[in-house]
Amino acid sequence: MNEAIRAKDVRLIDETGQNVGVVTTLSAQEKATAAGLDLVEISPDANPPVCKIMDYGKFKYQEQKKAAEARKNQKVVELKEIKMRPSIDDHDYDVKMRAMRRFFEEGDKVKVTLRFRGREMAHQELGMNVLKRVKVDIETFAKVETEPRYEARQLIMILAPK
């Protein structure tokens, strides 16, 4: 910026955005000073470097505003958890599926945890059948991100919205 530009010649863009052409750094600096603005090096890697005459303080302020707006509009994806049992009843299953659909509409991921207790560990295929049923029911509006896997006494599957 301004005196920190070390190149002998620069390609100059004036305050209106018009390409002036290749000029010496000294004359570009004089034009910027005459306009009461700063000479800012936009593309230092180009040959010759590209410089623009602009109000640097105003430029930095606008960049800050754009960054704040982008942060405000971004959606943080959360991981919601739905807990089930291998012997889940149909109505309870439907309630869990409605909650899952709502989470997907909000753009969140869902972790389905199926916990086994006591003697249920002897019939792990029942739990796998429940998760297969979940997979079939959600395939229209979500996709399986992590296939069902065992972690200690529970089966875990992660789903994401399409």
Q: Which pLDDT tens digit goes with each residue over 77-119?
A: 889 999 999 999 999 999 999 999 999 999 899 999 999 999 9
Tell me: do 55 and 120 sit in the same domain. no
Residue where a domain terminates, one of 34, 57, 72:
72
- CA pair distance 97, 137, nearest whole angstrom: 8
CATH number at residue 15: 3.10.20.80
- Tell me the residue ranges of DSSP E strands in 7-138: 9-13, 19-24, 38-43, 50-54, 79-84, 109-115
Tell me: do 154 and 85 sit in the same domain. yes
> How many domains does the chain fold into?
2
Centre a 10 Å sphere on the Cβ of residue 128 and count the other Cβ atoms it contains.
15
Tell me: do 68 and 84 sit in the same domain. no
Residue where a domain terminates, one of 10, 44, 72:
72
Q: Do residues 67 and 96 make contact, with C-beta atoms less than 8 angstroms apart?
A: no
Considering the entire predicted model, what is its pTM? 0.58
Q: Which pLDDT tens digit goes with each residue over 27-43?
A: 889 888 888 898 888 88
Of 36, 69, 68, the residue nearest 53 (C-alpha)? 36
Residue where a domain terminates, one of 51, 72, 93:
72
CATH number at residue 150: 3.30.110.10
Task: Quote the pLDDT of residue 97.
Answer: 95
Phi, psi of 82 (to 5 degrees): -115, 125
Residues spanned by the domain of 7 = 2-72
Tell me: do 113 and 146 sit in the same domain. yes
Mean pLDDT taken over the chain? 90
Of 84, 89, 101, 97, the residue nearest 148 (C-alpha)? 84
Tell me: do 46 and 108 sit in the same domain. no
- Tell me the residue ranges of DSSP E strands in 25-100: 38-43, 50-54, 79-84
Tell me: do 58 and 83 sit in the same domain. no
Task: Quote the pLDDT of residue 59.
Answer: 85
